[in-house]
């Protein structure tokens, strides 16, 4: 669960950082690495997609971990 929270915080942080449009960060976004890490433009729908994807992944890890270890809660 802590890893899912960290992933969600990073995803939201990166997406929200796209609202910041200072010249220096836009120059960084013009590079391949900057574009891959920072993205280009804010889309609120992406926040929903990140949340759903991370929730599904965390649920899969939880359920899969229970099956492997044989634990039942």
Provide the pLDDT confidence category of residue 65 given band limits of 50, 70 and 90.
confident
Mean of per-residue pLDDT scores for the chain: 91
Q: Kindly state the percentage of the chain with pLDDT values over 70.
A: 90
The angle at the Cα of 13, spanning 51 to 35, to the nearest 5 degrees, equals 100
Single pTM value for the model: 0.77
> Cα separation of 6 and 10, whole Å?
6
For residues 39 and 15, the answer to whether their CB atoms sit within 8 Å is: yes
């Amino acid at each position: 669960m802590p890893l899912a929270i960290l992933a969600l915080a990073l995803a939201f942080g990166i997406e929200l950082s796209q609202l910041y449009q200072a010249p220096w960060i836009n120059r960084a976004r013009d590079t391949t690495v900057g574009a891959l890490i920072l993205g280009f433009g804010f889309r609120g729908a992406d926040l929903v997609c990140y949340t759903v994807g991370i929730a599904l992944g965390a649920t899969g890890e939880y359920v899969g971990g229970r099956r492997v270890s044989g634990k039942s809660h």
